[in-house]
Structure formats: structure tokens, C-alpha cells
Structure 1
């Protein structure tokens, strides 16, 4: 029993939970630089939309964080969990789409979602969110990620390939939206720290 107590104790400072927003942002930046195509622009646009949805839900639900939380803003849903699970869901679905179902994807897909669950659980262990807030963030982020992935492959990709107007709208709209959101978030994150 004493061996299991380390699982319940909050991790020591500094913690990966403190830098998870930078980790997710860095992964998206790396993916954008690496892929440099319309699909990654679509995924980035979805990430921005997912983040904005989290802000709207926080204001609508106005659910308090746990009592000892250091922050006073609403905690439902966890925007960290929502962003992390959006990214993990899109990545896992993309792996299955690109590589098919094989041993590699059967390991990497669940491993990606497990890492997302661990990073989200750190928010609970740090007392920044309740388990329900993280679970709602995970469900919403996963649902948005799956929907955004399906929209690309069933609707947008074909329209993008066949219409110059759709190409211009997706590329310029995604670029402008993403750059302005990145500037806003960096200013917001630096202000918080």
C-alpha cells in the first residue's frame, strides 16, 4: 500500500503539467513546419476553434476550480485537457489513416491517447481542476478532433482540390486566424506566468 501512495501525491514542482500548453503549442508548430500543407492548416484552424470553444464553455458553465486552486477563472472544461485530447485524437486518427491498421499504429494510437490522459491527469493531481473538469475537456477535445478530422477527409479535402476559392479561403483564413490566436495566447500565457 505505501508503494501506491506516490500515485496519489501531487508531483513535485516544476511539473510537466505546468508546461503542457507549451508542449502542445510546440507540437503544433513542429507539425506545421514539417508538413506545410493545407491539411495541417485545417488541423491548426480546428485547434484554434477548439480553444475558442473551451473559452466559451468556461464562460457559459462558470464552474469553479477546486478550493485550493491557485487560479480563480472557471475550470469547466479543462482547456488543457481539451487541447491535448484534440491533438491526440487528430494524431491517432491520422496515423490510422496514413499507415492503416498494423502493429505500429496499434501501439502508437493508444500510446498517444495514454500520454494525453497522463498529461490531463496532472492537472487534477496539481489541484488545478477536478476530475470531472478534465474528463469533460477530454471528451469535448476528442469529439472536436474526430469531427474536424472527418470533415477534412469527407468534405473539405475534395473541395480544396477542386476550387481555387476554397483553397484561398482555407489557407488565408487559417493563416490569419492561427497567427492572431498565437499572438493572443502567448501574450495571455506570459501574463499568467
Structure 2
């Protein structure tokens, strides 16, 4: 065992200067792409919505494109820590993922949720979410430079690629694939896996809440009726 060469799993391995509170915060913030992937998988397993699946597919295409660009451009990272980070750094995968996610989500708020109530509180909620997405993407992008994992050119290039792909993927889903979702959801494989299309439901949370409440009340009445007989 002593002769083996051990290598950390760099996907979640983040270093920061010892005693640097800001560096520690940025190191934790840079794990946001991992949280996004876990969130996608959780939503797909429990909600099985076609749009969520396609959003996740776009995120995976984004990651594949990032790997291809890194090996085509072949620009090294600014700092090598004991030979651990030997892969290329242009463009930054963290920056690319965060800006892809942020841009796609903002476009979803603008174009897919516009048929929900246009009250002041609804508009304020959308603005707060959009600002939060942009701020988080900016923090993650800055963290990669602060922690010396990437140069400014690498994170800015990642941001540009993420923004362009986020816009392009959203328009493809919104204009081309969404009209086909009802047909796709009717396929036998989708019915077997209980994959559904909720694109025509204005507010899915309210829809599920009201249906669950109605079903609970109906079953409660049946139980009461059975006990009284």
C-alpha cells in the first residue's frame, strides 16, 4: 500500500489559503455546480418532468463542450499545486456551468412564467431570483480567480460560452421541443417511467397543492363514511 500513488478526487477537492475567511467562503461557493447537478438528479427522480430532463441534458452538453474546448485550446491553469491540477483551464468549467444555469433560468422566468399573475409581488419575486442567479454566478466565477484555479481570461471565456449555450439551448427547448412534449410524454417508455409533461400548466406548485388537498379531503370523507357504517 505504501508504494501506491494516491490522487484526490478533484471534482469536490477545493483548496483555499489557511486562515483566509473570504477564501473559505469562496471555496464553499465554488461547489455550487455540484449542488446544481445533485438538484437536477433529485428533481428528475422525484418529478420526472420532461422540461427538467431537457434542462439537465443541456447542462451535460455544456460540460462536454467545456471538456472539448479545454483540450482544443490546451491552455494550462495559472498555478500547479504539487502536480494535482494538470488538466487545462481554458475555459473555466465552473464559470461556464454557472452562467449556463443562470441565463437559462432567467429566460425561463421571462418567457415560460409570463402567464402567471403579473402582480407587483410576482414581478418582484422574479427580479429577486434573477439577481440572485447572476450574483451567485458572479461569485463562483470570481472564486476561481481568487483561489488561483483560473485566470480572468479563462473564467470570462467560460462565462461567454455558458451564456451563449444557455440562450441557444433555451430557444431550442422553448421553440422546437416544448410543442413536441405532449407527443413524447405519450410514448410507451415515458408512460412506463412515469415521465410527464407539465409545460401547459401555468403554476405547477399550485396545481399539485390543490389536487393533493382535494384528494385528501375525498379520501377523508370516504374513511369517515366507512367508519360510520
When normalised by structure 2's length, the TM-score is: 0.62
Equivalent residue number for residue 24 of structure 2: 12
Aligned-residue Cα RMSD (Å) equals 2.9
Structure with greater proportional helix content = 1
Q: Give the drift of 1:35.
A: 4.1
Q: Does 1:110 align with 2:126?
A: no
Q: Does 2:169 align with 1:148?
A: yes
- How many residues of Structure 1 are paired with residues of Structure 2 in the alignment? 163
Larger Rg: 2
- Distance, in Å, in 1 between the alignment partners of 2:143 and 2:124 is 29
Aligned to 1:136: 157
Cα separation, partners in 2 of 1:34 and 1:103, compared to 1, 3 Å: farther
> How does the TM-score come out when normalised to structure 1?
0.72
- Residue 160 of structure 1 contacts residue 167 of structure 1 at CA under 8 Å; is this kept in 2? no
In 1, the alpha carbon distance for the partners of 2:26 and 2:136 equals 18
What is the alpha-carbon distance in structure 1 between the residues aligned to residue 189 and residue 168 of structure 2? 22
Unmatched 5+ stretches in structure 1: 1-8, 173-193
Instruction: Sort the Cα spacing of 1:53 and 1:168 in 2 relative to 1 into closer, same or farther, 3 A.
Output: farther
Deviation for aligned residue 1:28: 2.0
Helix, strand or coil at the partner of 1:152: helix
**Cα contact 1:58–1:76 (8 A) shared by 2:** yes
Q: 1:81 matched to which residue of 2?
A: 95
Which residue does the alignment assign to 1:91?
105
